[in-house]
Amino acid sequence: MAGNADYLTYTVDQDVPGAQGQYVGIQNGNDATCIAWITVKMFDNSLGGAWTGDIGRSCGQSWFESQEVAGQLEDGSVYRPSCTWLDGNHDNEIPSAALKFSTYSYGPDTSHVTLDRDACASTIFAADEKEIKDAPTDTSMAKRSNLQRRARLSWMEQKLVISNIPSHSATNLCNSETSWGPDFADSYGMLCDMGTKTLYTLCSKEQIDGCVNISTEQYRNSTNTASVAMQQRSIAKRTVSTAFKTYEQTSVWGDNN
């Protein structure tokens, strides 16, 4: 998630003994929430199901990178799916307020969620935050969103995420029409201005004209960390650094964060 994550556990009562949950529905209020993963556990300990934000991302929903660990992949690497945004009042054109997915369509756990060509057919996204009554039945790929560049929430304008996670990519965020969130710097030396979808090279990667240095300073007796992005230019055979973005809060993501 873009901010500090919370884990929520819900127990669903059933009117019919022995019946398993075939579908799971999620409705969100007016505060935008980015969901990284959902797991479903059955009372009788039979195989459950899972859903991840990679599904929403693949199906044209608003998304962002996530630092939430959802298990391990077959090669032993840590799996951190993207997160999918839901918002009840559709601030900044987040298209969906609710989702509903088939419990057994994607795999028994988050590490084995499959994204085949019919992945979108097993999840319904709805603009209304009310309960989705229909079941996913469409066997074709869901129509993908074609969102225009949009304004961000005020906290996004003041925040920078610096990720040391190899699977994260500032380039992918900048190149996506549906990504949405705070500015993002990755471990490959790239910075994405998410407000304008402009990609910059960090000077730590390559000393080129227009590269960016990020200076981060910890406030005393505070968990807030401020950052300044300085752009480096060559002018009349001199190198000039100019502050072009400041951030009130900086989050550093990595294996130990």
Q: Which two tokens stand for residue 8?
A: 């929520």
CA distance 64 to 57: 8
Whether residue 113 is found in the same domain as residue 184? no
Which of 43-52, 127-136, 143-152, 235-244 has the least mean pLDDT?
143-152
Percent of the residues in the chain that have a pLDDT greater than 90, as a whole number: 51
Mean pLDDT, range 176-197, rounded to an integer: 96
- In a 3-state reduction of DSSP, which class is residue 161? strand
Q: Which two tokens stand for residue 110?
A: 């988050």
Whether residue 214 is found in the same domain as residue 170? yes
Buried b (16+ CB within 10 A) or exposed e, 209-240: eebbebeeeeeeeeeebbbebbbbeeeeeeee
Partners of 200 in the beta sheet? 191
**Residue 41 has what pLDDT?**
87
CA distance 120 to 167: 23
DSSP per position, 65-84: -------B-TTSPBP---EE
**Residue 256 has what pLDDT?**
59
Edge to edge, the sheet with strand 123-126 lists 23-27, 98-102, 123-126
**139 is a domain residue:** no
User: At residue 151, what are phi and psi to the nearest 5 degrees?
Assistant: -70, 160
Edge to edge, the sheet with strand 225-235 lists 212-218, 225-235, 238-247
Which value, to the nearest 10 degrees, does the dihedral of the CA atoms of residues 250, 83, 203, 237 take? -100
Mean pLDDT, range 102-131, rounded to an integer: 84
Across the chain, mean pLDDT equals: 84
**174 is a domain residue:** yes
Whether residue 90 is found in the same domain as residue 180? no
Q: What is the pLDDT of residues 58-72, one digit of tens each?
A: 999 999 999 999 988
CA 200 to chain centre: 20
Task: Choose among 134, 108, 127, 120: nearest CA to 41.
Answer: 108
**10 is a domain residue:** no
Whether residue 29 is found in the same domain as residue 122? yes
CA distance 59 to 123: 9
Length of the chain: 257
Q: Which two tokens stand for residue 114?
A: 């499959």
Whether residue 113 is found in the same domain as residue 170? no
CA distance 227 to 229: 7
**59 is a domain residue:** yes
Residue 147 has pLDDT above 60, yes or no: no
**1 is a domain residue:** no
DSSP code of residue 144: P
3-state helix, strand, coil in the chain (%, to 5): 10, 35, 55
Q: What is the pLDDT of residues 91-111, one digit of tens each?
A: 667 889 999 999 988 988 887
Residues 6+ apart with CB under 8 A from 31: 87
Structural domains counted in the chain: 2
**Residue 196 has what pLDDT?**
94
- Structural domain range at position 102: 23-126
